[in-house]
Amino acid sequence: MGDVAFWGVNAVRIWVLALVVALCGGCTFSRVRTNPEVADLETAWIVPGTTTYREVVGRLGMPPPVGQADSAPAFVSAETLHWLSTDTRIFELKVGYIVSPIFRRSRTVAADDVLIRFDDAGVVRQVSRTRRRGDETTVLDFREARP
Amino acid sequence: MRVGLFLAVLALCAGCISERMGYAALDVEPPRPGATYHDAVTTLGNPMTVHDLPDGSTEAVWVGTATCGGAFEISFWGVRLLRLGNTETVTQGRRLVFDAAGRLTASWPVGEGDPPWGVVPFGR
Amino acid sequence: MKRLLLLALVTPLLGGCIWNRAKVNDAEVAARAAAIVPGKTHAEELPKLMGTVPSSVIPLKDGRTVYAFSYGDAKTEGFTLLLFTLSKTNSAFSAVYVFTDMKGVVRHVEASPAPETAWETWPFGE
């Protein structure tokens, strides 16, 4: 290929030039993190079967909404309190000079997640805490009240 | 051959958009019957909702969204003349039911499979 | 001439700095919640006291209700350098939750921590 030429210009150079021109749309790497403070919540002090709803709220505060202001019902109920932090990684490529197709890949995962379940008396019955980094989900804490 | 190449170039010009959130972003097999709630959390993370059913069993639901589509722009010297694009989003998830002993007895998919790819926004 | 050429070469490197701020609802609800008196304030008075209607209304058991007043803040920082754009958005929401009994009387007020967001550019890493 090194010997091939078009209009006196080396083919490899033309290929490189075409690639550079095509990439003139640009690559975008972006990331969105919501509620990162969830990673620092302390839950080791919670004792399933003993700790109450008021004690949990008194020490951890209420769970924040995620993504939209009206999403609170998804994270607060009589039976559960759910703290969620999300991590979104986005790659976008606009290729081309006049006609530019858009290539976008986005993945959103629950980076840190604390779910506390309560019984009818408002006492903690289960604490479940997970963390996701890359493709791995790790359970950091999982304790239940003895029946 | 030429027609195939032309169609391939045309398809490439239409772009590709893929966005996944929550359950749809996981690439794992759902837990098998007999698995415990802890097993499910280890595989899928915490569910979005979990509550007790009247018969003493527990229902947990994991949800997410998958978006697929394409878009392209026609511009010249920084002036955008046309942008054409279309995406479709579907819910994807899984609903698991654990009996009173804590073992998985039922597993249903929530929502549909992956959405189709398309770039034309007109029509139904 | 050399200076002009240098300027022409350097200027694209300054091409795109990105700062964007997105606020959702009114963060002052957290301070206004101090005016709520548990045992006295009624649910109907909440919009006037808080300066806004609740973002969500969550029914609890036994006729109790939670009124959530949510607000949020997101900061995006990034830059465009020739062919690449890098950016990171830090977003946080918070809410004041007002618990009322079945008669609509406020029993207690709780809140999630105030949102803290930082200006960060680098999107990679943990």
List chain B residues with CB under 8 Å of A82. Answer: 46
Residue B45, in any domain of the structure:
yes
pLDDT tens per residue, range A118-134: 998 999 999 999 999 88
Distant-in-sequence, close-in-space partners of B40: CB < 8 Å, separation ≥ 6: B31, B47, B60, B96, B98, B104
Split into its structural domains, chain B has a count of: 1
Residue B35, in any domain of the structure:
yes
Is the Cβ–Cβ distance between B81 and B75 less than 8 Å? yes
Cα of first residue to Cα of last residue in chain B, in angstroms, is 33
Tokens of C64: 């109790």
Would you state the pLDDT for residue A84?
93
pTM (two decimals): 0.82
Strand partners, A116: A81, A127
Task: Judge: B70–A135 Cβ closer than 8 Å, yes or no.
Answer: no
Host domain of residue B43:
2-111
DSSP A25: G
d(CA B117, CA B11): 11
Tokens of A71: 């999403």
Residue B81, in any domain of the structure:
yes
Cα of first residue to Cα of last residue in chain A, in angstroms, is 75
pLDDT tens per residue, range A18-73: 666 656 667 889 999 999 889 999 999 999 999 999 999 999 999 998 877 778 78
Tell me, yes or no, if A80 comes closer than 8 A to chain B by beta carbon: yes
Tell me, yes or no, if A109 comes closer than 8 A to chain B by beta carbon: yes
Query: How distant is the alpha carbon of residue C28 from its chain centre?
Result: 11
Q: What angle do CA A33, A38, A44 make, to 5 degrees?
A: 155
Is the Cβ–Cβ distance between A46 and A119 less than 8 Å? no
Residue B14, in any domain of the structure:
yes
The minimum CA-CA distance between A98 and chain B, rounded to whole Å, is: 5
Residue B119, in any domain of the structure:
no
Would you state the pLDDT for residue A123?
95
Amino acid making up residue A111: A
How high is the ipTM of this complex? 0.80
Q: Where are the domains of chain A?
A: 30-92+107-144
Nearest CA in chain C to A27: C84
Amino acid making up residue B75: S
E strand or H helix at B80, and its extent? strand B79-98
Region C38-65: mean pLDDT is: 89
| Residue in A105, A108, A128 nearest the CB of B46 | A128
Listed range (B98-102, C30-34, C41-45, C79-83) with the worst mean pLDDT: C79-83
Query: How distant is the alpha carbon of residue B1 from its chain centre?
Result: 35
Residue B98, in any domain of the structure:
yes
Decide if pLDDT at C32 tops 90: yes
d(CA B33, CA B97): 10
